[in-house]
């Protein structure tokens, strides 16, 4: 059983582009990694029936997932919120924001967020994450496929939730 990593991706920019992004990421759930970085056909399915060949297939499949998604599974329990907001992001007045909230197994999905920022270069992405089992948290910001900020620290250093639970640490 994995440790679950909470991911909160705040997306800012033009409302029409955010709505197009939200439509493009819908698949089996509201947020489907396969819609952003599709799994190649050679890695889909259960692989060959021969055990030795199957072990090689599973190992290569896992390596692909970790390289392109950051972990080996899709988003878990995804939620999407969209609302207009008066605030500053990326050095200007930002009137529109969407937030993707989901869990992943063991690690955050940072490669997915960078891929989204390549697909929608005018939008600004702020990816906050925390994983309480291995005790880490972090923040990555990107735009136009470029990582502008990326820091990782102990659990609670970058808070996904603003509650009293953290005060004990």
The three-state secondary structure class of 146 is strand
Per-residue pLDDT reduced to its tens digit, 118-149: 999 999 999 999 998 888 899 999 999 999 99
Question: How far apart, in whole angstroms, are the C-alpha atoms of residue 7 and residue 160?
Answer: 8
Neighbouring-strand partners of residue 35 = none
Burial class of residue 72, CB neighbours in 10 A (0-12, 13-18, 19+): middle
Question: How far apart, in whole angstroms, are the C-alpha atoms of residue 66 and residue 55?
Answer: 17
Closest CA relative to residue 40, chosen from 7, 18, 63: 63
Burial class of residue 45, CB neighbours in 10 A (0-12, 13-18, 19+): exposed
Residue with tokens 């080996």: 72
Per-residue pLDDT reduced to its tens digit, 153-168: 887 777 666 555 444 4
CATH of the domain spanning 4-40+71-168: 3.30.70.1270
Question: How far apart, in whole angstroms, are the C-alpha atoms of residue 49 and residue 58?
Answer: 12
Q: DSSP for 112-145?
A: HHHHHHHHSTTSEEEEEEEETTTTEEEEEEEETT
pLDDT band at 93, cuts 50/70/90? very low
User: Best-predicted range by mean pLDDT among 48-52, 105-109, 116-120?
Assistant: 116-120
């Amino acid at each position: 059983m994995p440790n679950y990593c909470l991911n909160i991706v705040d997306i800012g920019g033009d409302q029409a582009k955010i709505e197009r992004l939200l439509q493009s990421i819908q698949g089996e759930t509201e947020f489907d990694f396969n819609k952003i970085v599709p799994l190649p056909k050679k890695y889909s399915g259960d692989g060959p029936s021969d055990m030795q060949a199957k072990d090689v297939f599973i190992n290569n499949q896992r390596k692909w997932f970790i390289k392109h998604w950051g972990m080996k599974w899709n988003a878990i329990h995804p939620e999407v919120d969209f609302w207009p907001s008066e605030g500053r992001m990326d050095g200007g007045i930002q009137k529109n924001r969407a937030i993707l909230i989901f869990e992943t197994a063991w690690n955050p999905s940072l490669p997915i967020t960078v891929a989204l920022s390549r697909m929608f270069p005018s939008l600004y992405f702020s990816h906050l994450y925390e994983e309480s089992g291995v005790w880490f948290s972090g923040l990555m910001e990107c735009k136009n496929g470029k990582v502008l900020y990326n820091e990782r620290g102990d659990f609670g250093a970058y808070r996904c939730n603003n509650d009293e639970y953290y005060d004990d640490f």
